[in-house]
Structure 1
Amino acid sequence: MLALRGSLRRLSQALVHQVCSSFTTGHRQQEGTLYEFCTYYLKPANVEEFLYNFKKNVHLRTAHSELVGYWTVGFGGRINTVFHIWKYDNFAHRAAVYKALAKDEDWQEQFLIPNLPLIDKQESEITYLVPWCKIGTPPKEGVYELATFLMKPGGPALWGEAFQRAVNAHADQGYIKLIGVFHAEYGLLNRVHVLWWNESADSRAAGRHWSHEDPRVVAAVRESVSYLESQQNTFLIPTSFSPLK
């Protein structure tokens, strides 16, 4: 009997490990790559000046780390806002970059110090790509949508499979182009961001209409929303200097 209990306990532990390693942090921690979501809330009168100054000095910043994308908020969120994503190899890399920026006199004098007064508030969130997703490449210039989901506590081990099916149901049917799925590590936990690309706001609206009538998408979404607390969709317009356009 003791031997049987021991075997069952080991089997249970193995199953738990298998589930958690598929949907939690194992893959991400091994790779280490993280993505910092930066949101700057600008004073209304200063948006154009801030963007002009960043465009002029963007090379000073990208000399230190990779810029994934840079957008302004069109609607669905607070306007006069810029949103950008930076890629780092790991936390040590991010710390080294910020240390180098603090010593970069050109960056400090030409951009940071003159433009800090233009920023009303800023936020930073550390995220990882989910294990089943890689950064996509848009087929041409377009617009973006950041869909932010607050899921029920429990993490991807609880809702990961259902969420993955819902995202892939939209992407696989061609209603919208998937760019990336990011799981928050520092910030509001149990939050997942899905970055989509579309040719235009109107093509996005048409695709959304058709997806709502697709039984495959409807079934996948119905399963996923049982784990959903809230959702916000933000329409993003890429800047001229954004790598993702």
Structure 2
Amino acid sequence: MLATCCRLPRARLVRCYSTTAPPIFELRTYNLIPQHAATYLEGSAVHGNLRKTHLPLLFFGTVETGGQLNTVQHLYKYPSLEARDDARKAAAADPNWQMWLKLSRTCVERTQSIIFNEAKAVLDANSLPGADGHRTDSKGIYEFRQYQLRLGYPTVPNFLKFYGAGLPSKLAADKRAQLVTLLYSDLGPLNIVIEIWRHDSPSAMMDSRVASREATEWKTAIGNIADLAHSFQNTILIPQSFSPWQ
């Protein structure tokens, strides 16, 4: 794991990558067979509480636009890889979970799992609670903003340096959008960074974009980040009824 410092607002040096093992976030992406998508979603809702009994689910949503349709993404937080393995083994031993897995596999065309770390230094520097502190009282939408950065050890630390420098101006200009978390990949395709924002509605998301254009430091940061990135994609996801994040 990299151990590199990044420069954040007020010229404050902070460590972007923890020297101790941080909690891990697993993002699982399932591409559903279109004719079986409804069956999968209905079954997921029926077994939602069972999933949360065994697995530390944070978010479960479907792609609305901006990505491949008939796709679900679910995000989990574990203390460690070992804890993930233990939880999944315990779930696999439950006969009811086994029955659901057997049915669900007939609905899924492709699966992907990527392990991420949370960029706590950037979030803490902006007094943001990150994934642990995210609470919602009503249903909204989630915007996953994904960057595929070029390879190289300094690329992600440089991203976090630029992002951390520009984020305060964006937050000041846009009071409604919530930055839920900021993640960078650790296992799987490397040098992926994902911002997860919550908005009250699609129109609120567009209002957020307009407001961000008034944030000079944020625009500078995005310009610097563009030089680091191979590609960028933003996707809107709708949380399902049993998702802890709504």
Same fold (TM over 0.5): yes
Cα distance in structure 2, aligned partners of 1:139 and 1:173: 23
Cα distance in structure 1, aligned partners of 2:110 and 2:227: 34
Q: What does 1:138-153 align with in structure 2 at a 5 Å threshold?
A: 138=136, 140-152=138-150, 153=152
Shift of 1:137: 3.0
Question: How many aligned positions are there?
Answer: 226
Report the equivalent of 2:200.
199
Report the equivalent of 1:39.
29
Report the equivalent of 1:162.
162
Residues 1:55 and 2:45 aligned together: yes
Choose from 59, 75, 78 the match for 2:65. 75
Shift of 1:51: 1.0
Percentage identity across aligned positions?
25
Q: CA RMSD in A?
A: 2.1
Amino acid across the alignment from 1:46: H
Cα distance in structure 1, aligned partners of 2:70 and 2:4: 45
Which stretch of the first structure deviates more once superposed, 171-180 or 120-129? 171-180
* Structure in which a larger fraction of residues adopt helix: 1
Shift of 1:198: 0.6
Cα distance in structure 2, aligned partners of 1:203 and 1:158: 30
1:88-126 deviation line (CA, Å, top 9, x unaligned):
1111101111211221111102x1112211001110000
Cα distance in structure 2, aligned partners of 1:56 and 1:105: 15
TM-score (norm 1): 0.84
SS at match of 2:241: coil
Q: Is the 8 A contact 1:166 1:224 kept in 2?
A: no
Q: Is the 8 A contact 1:66 1:87 kept in 2?
A: yes
Kindly tell me: are residues 229 and 173 of structure 1, through their superposed partners in 2, closer, same or farther at Cα, counting changes over 3 Å? same
SS at match of 2:64: strand
Report the equivalent of 2:127.
none
Shift of 1:61: 1.9
5+ long unaligned stretches in structure 1: 1-15
SS at match of 1:40: strand
1:166-193 deviation line (CA, Å, top 9, x unaligned):
3443234225210000110012111101
SS at match of 1:63: helix
5+ long unaligned stretches in structure 2: 7-13, 124-129
Report the equivalent of 1:182.
183
Cα distance in structure 2, aligned partners of 1:178 and 1:99: 32
Cα distance in structure 2, aligned partners of 1:240 and 1:43: 21
Q: What does 1:114-133 align with in structure 2 at a 5 Å threshold?
A: 114-132=103-121, 133=123
Shift of 1:241: 0.9
SS at match of 2:96: helix
Cα distance in structure 2, aligned partners of 1:231 and 1:173: 23
Kindly tell me: are residues 229 and 107 of structure 1, through their superposed partners in 2, closer, same or farther at Cα, counting changes over 3 Å? same
Choose from 77, 95, 100 the match for 2:85. 95
Cα distance in structure 2, aligned partners of 1:24 and 1:44: 40
Shift of 1:164: 2.1
Report the equivalent of 2:17.
24
